[in-house]
Amino acid sequence: MSKVEELFSILDTTALILRKDMDLTYLEALVETGSNIFEQDIQQKHLMSSAQERLKREYRKLENKQYKSEDMRKAFQLCLLKGMKNGVQANHEMTPDAVGMFVSYLFNRFFAGQSGLRVLDPAVGTGNLLTTLFNHREDGTAMSGYAVEADELLLRLAFMNADLQQHEIECFHGDALAPLYIDPVDAVVCDLPVGYYPNEERAQEYRLRAEKGMSYAHHLFIEQSIRHTKEGGYLLFLVPNFLFESDQADQLRSFLRDTCHIQGLLQLPVSLFKNEQNAKSIFVLQKKGPQTKAPKQALLAELPKFSNAQAMQSMMLQIQEWFKVNK
């Protein structure tokens, strides 16, 4: 077996043991077994001795073995996909791996040669996108991060995901549109939650609030993210393709003109998503500052299928040329 398969087998087997003996969901049991692996001890002392012995037998397979963070991320991701297979809400779906890798590529190009970066994901989910970014930092320089998530179980999974991969990520449970008591970061990366924001009173604190009716959560997340980014910092969002087609699009355009330079908008292949309505694009912004300037031309592209090697190679050459001219 590959290392990813080995890790998945251990995570899956032990999660199933804990699920049965503790009457948990699979994802809750995954948090428990992740905690055991991280602490190198079985935390659930009340388990029957037979269950404890089975757990110990599985965990011993990890002794004296070295695993890369990316191996652990992929194994954990397989478990998450298994646990989310039935009845998962649309906003709980994980960012496709190919998309995470492409976002990482763009992140590395925009932050080439910079070290000690601090990154925020205000809607972290299970942490798959954020940890993909950490694992594929090209120059290997250390990064730290902040993660915010309203769903407690998802945040626990993200926390465990980061711990098992040994990443310095602080996790916060709560509404990311409430005040965030963190210092401005170098970058924001986020697969934006799409829909209406139910807290109309809090929405009044935002310039992108709706003039009538409910405000769009994805607009407010963009504004909140820009607030918490340093001048000159970059923001990489996954946004719905209809972002600039809504009734509040003019308000969003005006806000972005005042606060940011639009660096690029890259439409992802529709085939990556269950239906065309869920299709997304990568939207890259730079927060304005005294030393910033707009690119000569924004990077606009419709990405081919990632499986089309020839078309992707041609697209990558075009993107590299854009960076030569604009960065």
Residues found in the chain:
327
Asked if the model's pLDDT at residue 90 lies above 60, the reply is no
**CATH code, 3-83:** 1.10.150.470
Out of 3.30.2130.10, 3.40.50.150, 3.10.20.30, 3.90.1150.10, select the CATH number for domain 90-326.
3.40.50.150
Element containing residue 158 per DSSP (H, E): helix 152-164
How does residue 86 score in pLDDT terms, banded at 50, 70 and 90? low
Residue with the larger pLDDT of the pair 304 and 91:
304
Closest CA to 112 of 326, 270, 259: 326
- Cα-based distances in Å from 56 to 49, 50, 189, 324: 10, 10, 38, 54
Q: pLDDT tens digits for 112-154?
A: 989 999 999 999 999 999 999 999 998 767 899 999 999 999 9
Listed by start position, the domains of the chain span: 3-83, 90-326
Q: Which two tokens stand for residue 16?
A: 């199933």
Asked if the model's pLDDT at residue 88 lies above 80, the reply is no
How does residue 11 score in pLDDT terms, banded at 50, 70 and 90? very high
Cα separation, 171 vs 15, whole angstroms: 23
Average pLDDT over every residue of 247-258: 96
Contact yes or no for 39/9 (Cβ under 8 A): no
Q: What is the DSSP secondary-structure string of 112-150? A: TT--SEEEEETT-TTSHHHHHHHHT-TT---EEEEEEES
Q: Tell me if residue 299 falls in helix, strand or coil.
A: strand
Other CB atoms closer than 10 Å to residue 137's CB: what's the count?
17
CA dihedral sign of residues 68, 5, 97, 83: negative
Asked if the model's pLDDT at residue 321 lies above 80, the reply is yes
Residue with the larger pLDDT of the pair 161 and 90:
161
CA dihedral sign of residues 191, 196, 199, 201: positive
Of 23-27, 122-126, 151-155, 275-279, where does mean pLDDT reach its minimum? 275-279
Asked if the model's pLDDT at residue 275 lies above 90, the reply is no
- Cα-based distances in Å from 61 to 52, 106, 114, 233: 15, 37, 38, 43
Closest CA to 299 of 282, 276, 312: 282
How does residue 274 score in pLDDT terms, banded at 50, 70 and 90? confident
pLDDT > 70 fraction of the chain, expressed in percent and rounded: 97
Task: Provide the pLDDT for residue 96.
Answer: 87
Asked if the model's pLDDT at residue 91 lies above 70, the reply is no
How does residue 234 score in pLDDT terms, banded at 50, 70 and 90? very high
Average pLDDT over every residue of 233-253: 95
Pairing of β 143-149 and β 117-121: parallel
Asked if the model's pLDDT at residue 89 lies above 80, the reply is no
Q: Where are the beta strands (DSSP E) in 212-307?
A: 229-240, 260-267, 280-287, 299-302
